[in-house]
């Protein structure tokens, strides 16, 4: 990697403003070629305890600053991230595999949350209630919860971390994050910039480890941690949630999805295809909000499949470092094996393979962009999160039928529909059982809007004023005997 600022490449946990190494290290692999991006020190149990204690002690320092002082520091972090956008993107592509233009976009997307929350911190407010008794005054305050711990995923190694940390820090909380062991370098580069931005020691900490379980236990069980925030799979989220119960921590869970993408007979097919390509193939399909089940009205089915086939067959697959790449590798061998199994099971059960369907046999974890038609609700590919560049298509005839099929999942993160019927748009916005509904739009997330799911896709929201509320307590103060 040729970085303009080699200082960004760190290889140890960042705790209380210091880089702490240990005797045990692990390797991080580039999924595009299997080469080692670098080695990182494993956090030790003592260092982990130190992270919690220093975050706990730093609450006082951070909360004693005015909101203006906190905003200035956060804005400086945002500026530094934007100044180092190219380097941060290179690091991200090397460890995660996504095309460099997507990584550049992710850096800006992540920074946009800091920019937004730096200001939103100024808008935290309480209230004074009207008196309902003589001599009494009642106040409501919004106060920071305290130490926040988080576990962030490998699919968006920068943005998912910044989406949580920016809101937590703006609320006056301190933060400890364990990034995925597959993509630790992006988080460590952000930590280096937090130091340069003047975030005080202990306010922002990054702990690194290849074994998530013991670290996750400290982050979810420790009594000094007040709030836990997770982005990852529903299965892991359920376990972490149950661990948080022992100390009744506040939690935010951004878990898996199984997004329906519905194209009605009155849709603008050009726009629907454009939205579908962006939703389905961003990050090689490795997003929680990726179109997982594509429902196409019977009358458009054949035309849409053929046009999609032409578009998908033109996608450039390769190492994300190459500027022309549109589809990078999957994250690891396990991800390739999972999608191979899902596609094989669908085809054996009657789905038709229109395009792709094979792993690409060079170094790295590549899977061909794939189109399947004739997918049925009993197939695993209908019910599981695919997390790969596989477009799984189901024909439908009636609106009621497709809404019922779309909602036939325990997930409830994101859904999409393309239609030009205004009444139908209202019906869909009310009947699709998902935390987010995109109408004639394939990519919804931004710093102003509440990102999050219902049902087994999680709880809590990230973005907008909803995001900062996750890090605040409501406190009622009653003053009696006022003369």
Q: Which residues are catalytic?
A: 254, 288
Q: Which of 64-72, 221-229, 286-294, 394-402 is the region at the interface with ligand SIN (rule: CB under 6 A)?
A: 286-294
259 binds ligand SIN (CB under 6 A): no
For the bound state, the minimum distance from the C-beta of residue 155 to ligand SIN, rounded and expressed in Å, comes to: 6
Return all residues near 228 (Cβ < 8 A) that are at least 6 apart: 148, 149, 150, 219, 220, 240, 244, 249, 250, 251, 252
CB of 442 to ligand SIN, least distance (A): 11
Member of 287, 292, 368, 409 binding ligand SIN (CB under 6 A):
287
Q: How far is the CB of 163 from ligand SIN (least distance, A)?
A: 7
For residues 360, 365, 369, 374, the Cα torsion angle rounded to the nearest 10 degrees is: 100
What is the smallest separation between the CB atom of 200 and ligand SIN, expressed in angstroms? 29
Query: Rg for the chain (alpha carbons), in Å?
Result: 23
Residue (16 or 231) nearer to ligand SIN, CB: 231
Does residue 180 bind ligand SIN (CB under 6 A)? no
Minimal distance, residue 156 CB to ligand SIN, in Å: 5
**Identity of the residue, 58 or 391, whose beta carbon is nearer to ligand SIN in the bound complex:** 391
Residue 117 has phi, psi (to 5 degrees) of -75, -25
CA distances from 271 to 266, 417, 440 (A): 12, 11, 7
> Hey, CA dihedral for 34, 40, 46, 49, is it positive or negative?
negative
Beta carbons of 97 and 154 less than 8 angstroms apart: no
Q: How many residues bind ligand SIN (CB under 6 A)?
A: 7
Binding segment for ligand SIN (CB under 6 A), chosen from 26-34, 180-188, 281-289, 298-306, is: 281-289
Is 30 one of the binding residues for ligand SIN (CB under 6 A)? no
370 binds ligand SIN (CB under 6 A): no
Which of these ranges, 4-12, 213-221, 283-291, 389-397, lies near ligand SIN under the rule CB under 6 A?
283-291
Nearer to ligand SIN, 72 or 459 (CB): 459
Choose one: 272-280, 287-295, 379-387, 452-460; the region binding ligand SIN (CB under 6 A).
287-295
289 counts as binding ligand SIN under rule CB under 6 A: yes
CA distances from 104 to 93, 107, 272, 419, 444 (A): 9, 5, 25, 32, 18
* String of DSSP letters for 45-87: HHHHHHHHHHHHHHHHHHHTS-HHHHHHHHHHHHHHHHHTHHH
Question: CB-wise, 387 or 396, nearer to ligand SIN?
Answer: 387
Angle at CA of residue 90, ends 385 and 48, nearest 5°: 70
Of the pair 58, 277, the CB lying nearest ligand SIN is at 277
* 156 in contact with ligand SIN (CB under 6 A): yes
The sheet carrying 204-206 orders its strands as 18-20, 13-15, 204-206, 174-179, 147-152, 225-231, 250-254, 458-459
32 versus 288: smaller Cβ distance to ligand SIN: 288
> Is residue 252 a contact point for ligand SIN (CB under 6 A)?
no
Cα of 350 vs its chain's centroid, Å:
34
Residues 216-235, interacting with ligand SIN (CB under 6 A): 231
- Pick one of 92, 150, 288, 379: the residue that binds ligand SIN (CB under 6 A): 288
Residue 284 is a binding residue for ligand SIN (CB under 6 A): no
Contact 114, 81 (CB under 8 A): yes
Nearest approach, Cβ of residue 414 and ligand SIN (Å)? 8
Residue 146 or 153: which CB sits closer to ligand SIN? 153
CA–CA distance, 176 with 402 (Å, rounded to integer): 43
Among 445, 456, 457, 460, binds ligand SIN (CB under 6 A): 445
Q: Which stretch binds ligand SIN (CB under 6 A): 125-133, 168-176, 285-293, 327-335?
A: 285-293
224 vs 278, which CB is nearer to ligand SIN? Answer: 278
Beta carbon of residue 190, minimum distance to ligand SIN (angstroms, whole number):
16
Q: How far is CA 483 from CA 129, 137, 287, 479, in A?
A: 17, 11, 59, 11
How far is residue 203's CA from residue 62's CA, in Å, rounded to a whole number?
7
Identify which of residues 77 and 451 has a Cβ nearer to ligand SIN in the complex.
451
From the CB of 103, what's the least distance to ligand SIN, in Å?
Answer: 14
Which helix (H) or strand (E) is 458 found in, with range? Answer: strand 458-459
Cα gap 452→230, rounded to integer Å: 11
- Minimum CB–partner distance for residue 282 and ligand SIN (Å): 8
- C-beta neighbour count of 207 within 10 angstroms: 27
Give residues with Cβ within 8 angstroms of 204, minimum separation 6: 14, 165, 169, 174, 175, 191, 194
- With binding defined as CB under 6 A, does residue 111 bind ligand SIN? no
List residues binding ligand SIN (CB under 6 A): 155-156, 231, 287-289, 445
């Amino acid at each position: 990697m040729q970085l303009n600022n080699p200082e960004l490449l760190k290889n140890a946990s960042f705790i209380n403003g210091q880089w702490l190494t240990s005797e045990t290290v692990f390797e991080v692999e580039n999924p595009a070629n299997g080469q080692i991006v670098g080695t990182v020190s494993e956090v030790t149990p003592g260092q982990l305890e130190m992270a919690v204690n220093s975050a706990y002690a730093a609450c006082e320092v951070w909360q004693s600053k005015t909101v203006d002082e906190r905003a200035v520091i956060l804005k400086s972090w945002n500026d530094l991230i934007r100044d180092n956008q190219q380097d941060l993107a290179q690091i991200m592509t090397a460890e995660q595999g996504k095309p460099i233009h997507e990584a550049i976009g992710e850096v800006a997307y992540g920074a946009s949350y800091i920019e937004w929350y730096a200001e939103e911190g100024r808008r935290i407010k309480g209230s004074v209630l009207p008196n309902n008794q003589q001599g009494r005054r009642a106040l409501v305050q919004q106060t920071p919860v305290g130490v926040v711990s988080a576990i962030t995923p490998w699919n968006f190694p920068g943005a998912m971390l910044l989406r949580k940390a920016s809101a937590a820090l703006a609320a006056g909380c301190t933060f400890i994050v364990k990034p995925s062991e597959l993509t630790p370098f992006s988080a460590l580069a952000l930590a280096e910039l937090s130091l340069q931005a003047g975030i005080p020691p202990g306010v922002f900490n990054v702990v690194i480890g290849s074994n998530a379980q013991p670290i996750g236990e400290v982050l979810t069980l420790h009594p000094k941690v007040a709030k836990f925030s997770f982005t990852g799979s529903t299965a892991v989220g359920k376990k972490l949630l149950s661990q948080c119960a022992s100390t009744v921590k506040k939690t935010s869970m951004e878990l898996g999805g199984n997004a329906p993408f519905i194209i009605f007979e009155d849709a603008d097919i050009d726009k629907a295809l454009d939205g579908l390509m962006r939703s389905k193939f961003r990050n090689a399909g490795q997003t929680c909000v990726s179109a997982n089940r594509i429902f196409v009205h019977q009358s458009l089915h054949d035309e849409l499949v053929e046009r999609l086939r032409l578009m998908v067959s033109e996608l450039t697959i390769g190492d994300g470092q190459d500027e022309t790449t549109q589809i990078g590798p999957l994250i690891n061998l396990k991800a390739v094996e999972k999608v191979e199994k899902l596609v094989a099971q669908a085809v054996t059960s009657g789905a038709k393979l229109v395009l792709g369907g094979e792993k690409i046999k060079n170094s790295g974890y590549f899977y061909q962009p794939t189109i399947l038609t004739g997918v049925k609700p009993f197939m695993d590919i209908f019910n599981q999160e695919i997390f790969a560049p596989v477009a799984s298509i189901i024909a439908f005839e009636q609106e009621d039928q497709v809404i019922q099929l779309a909602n036939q999942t325990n997930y409830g993160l994101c859904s999409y529909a393309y239609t030009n019927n205004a009444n139908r748009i209202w019906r869909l916005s009310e009947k699709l059982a998902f935390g987010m509904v995109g109408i004639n739009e394939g990519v919804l997330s931004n710093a102003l809007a509440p990102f999050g799911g219902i049902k087994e896709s999680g709880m809590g929201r990230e973005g907008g004023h909803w995001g900062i509320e996750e890090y605040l307590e409501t406190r009622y103060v009653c003053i009696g005997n006022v003369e």
